[in-house]
Amino acid sequence: MKERLLVIGGDAAGMAAAAQVRRRTGALEIVALEKGTRTSYSACGIPYLVSGAVHDIGDLVARTPEEFRRARIDVRTEHEVAGIDLEARKAEVHNLAHHRGFHLGFDLLLVATGAEPARPELPGADLPHVHGVQTLDDAAGLLEAAEARRPKRVTVVGSGYVGLELAEAFLERGVAVTVVEAGPEVMGSLDPEMGALVARALRARGITVHVGLPARSISETAVHTDGTDIRADMVILGLGVRPNSRLGADAGLKTGVRDALVVDRQQRTSADGVWAAGDCCQSVHLVSGRPVHQALGTVANKQGRVAGINISGGYATFPGVLGTAVTRVCQTEIGRTGLTEREADGAGYRVATSLIESSTSAGYMPNSSSLSVKLVAEPGSGRLLGVQVVGGPGSAKRVDVVAAALAGKLTVEDLMGLDLAYAPPFSPLWDPLQVAARDLLRRL
């Protein structure tokens, strides 16, 4: 009888691992349980579905359950795992479609339960018109609610990536949008002066932005803050996500930063024969060397691949993360990688920074737009620590150059010497990254 691999979670990490195992071996039976109705989908595409830029929810699905089944992976959707007994090697499973429970044995286990929207402990946060969006089923529910309620006013509480992307999505639907952020500026993943540039772009498009204003409660008609009631027909939680690690933690798996599951470089957990991958587990930051929780689809797919290779008897390691991320909000592109100034200071580095303004192409080109670059480095060694970019079309993906430089532990001087491409439609003669590097060298 074949050994059974049980995969809990049917999105990026879980199905990347399952597919990798099946490609490498036929010796394992693979059962994948997914609480929702879909597998292997792009949650990053949800805001564009809400805005109408993507017309069909099915367009966001990379591989259906039927496709996996044809590859001899037993995918069971609408199956929720309620508990894991690691000693008995069995899982308590609820079939949500048929309202029945059963136990399923396993020999090997991969926990890929992902993340869940961060819900504040606010009175009213569980009201029906309040939506956190993480899965395609969440997106389907949001669209259904939007069609039913026909909101005229939407308030986004928080200003993470998805929250701001959804703010723009509802703006595209002709809805009045307000963003309420407790922090000093929007997008807490950026330093405040860079977040201020994003807030300026939001306001220029007609989105009302309140910063330094924590939400205190939510009612049927408003978000209530200190001294201000912001009317809202629908409320979107844009506070980011937290690891959905309770299932593994309750089974006795070790947890770490933000209660994410602790894994080693091979994605092994603290229990023999049990792996974890994706948004439910932690990673190691390649600059600071510290454990971090990084909820990104790119990371989840890579960790799933590594887990699958190791589960099937091979050897692979996941090197770590840099927090490289990009987005576009109201035609403003935002990118970051490595450590912000605030993060570097918190990690114990002495910090030097440079903040410059430049353009995405030669200034005389008709489509040239402005961009701002903030470069962060360590005085003395000159080691690059991170970069943030905010600007017009053609700005954000410049962070990939610095991501590669950070992986190679390059210095500011090294960045200055890189042979970067130039032509007037793509860049000024001096690339903005190298303008920032030149300015920072003066400070170093």
Catalytic site positions: 44
Residue linked to tokens 């939680």 = 237
Identity of the residue numbered 152: K
Confirm if 344 and 376 have CB atoms less than 8 A apart.
yes
Q: How many CB atoms lie within 10 A of CB 259?
A: 16
DSSP code of 45? G
The CA distances from residue 69 to 50, 274, 376, 423, in Å, are 30, 23, 48, 49
∠ CA 207-212-218, nearest 5°, is 70
The CA distances from residue 260 to 304, 305, 373, 393, in Å, are 16, 19, 32, 35
Backbone phi and psi for residue 439, each to the nearest 5 degrees, phi listed first: -65, -40
Backbone phi and psi for residue 426, each to the nearest 5 degrees, phi listed first: -110, -25
* Virtual torsion, Cα 322, 328, 332, 335, nearest 10 deg: 10
Burial of residue 339, with CB atoms counted within 10 A of its CB: 0-12 exposed, 13-18 middle, 19 or more buried: buried
Q: How many CB atoms lie within 10 A of CB 147?
A: 8
Residue linked to tokens 């430049």 = 358
Backbone phi and psi for residue 431, each to the nearest 5 degrees, phi listed first: -60, 140
Q: How far from chain centre, in Å, is Cα 185?
A: 19
Tokens standing for residue 279? 């948004």
DSSP letters spanning 291-342: EE----HHHHHHHHHHHHHHHTT-------B---EEEEETTEEEEEEE--HH
Q: Compute the residue count for the chain.
A: 444
The beta strands (E) that lie in 381-441 are given as 384-391
Q: How many CB atoms lie within 10 A of CB 176?
A: 17
Tokens standing for residue 352? 């030097």
Backbone phi and psi for residue 328, each to the nearest 5 degrees, phi listed first: -135, 125
